[in-house]
Amino acid sequence: MCVPLNNFSKILGAKLLKIEDVSKATGISRTTLTNLYYKRQNNVELNTLKKICDFLQVPLSELLEYVPSD
């Protein structure tokens, strides 16, 4: 079984960005971004992930990663 890791909050912190910055630049709702930030969002549309990655200038594999569980 694989466990997804969400690095959205770490990336925002490293780049000194706020959820509001991402929302204004991408048009993604603050609710969606907040849920992703606090790891409450399980199903995120690929288009949404693409917009986030493009704005943050990171590959999808840096934003989300799968790590096999023991």
Task: Note the pLDDT of residue 42.
Answer: 75
Q: Does position 62 have pLDDT exceeding 60, yes or no?
A: yes
Structural domain containing residue 27: 17-58
Pairwise pLDDT comparison (67 vs 52), residue with the higher score: 52
pLDDT at position 4 is: 63
30 falls within a domain: yes
Domains in the chain: how many in total? Answer: 1
Q: What is the pTM of this model?
A: 0.87
Adjacent-strand bridge partners of 67: 3
Q: CA 50, CA 54: separation in Å to the nearest integer?
A: 6
Element (H, E) at 51: helix 46-56
| 70 belongs to a structural domain | no
Interatomic CA distance for residues 42 and 63, integer angstroms: 14
pLDDT in tens, 14-32: 999 999 999 999 999 999 9
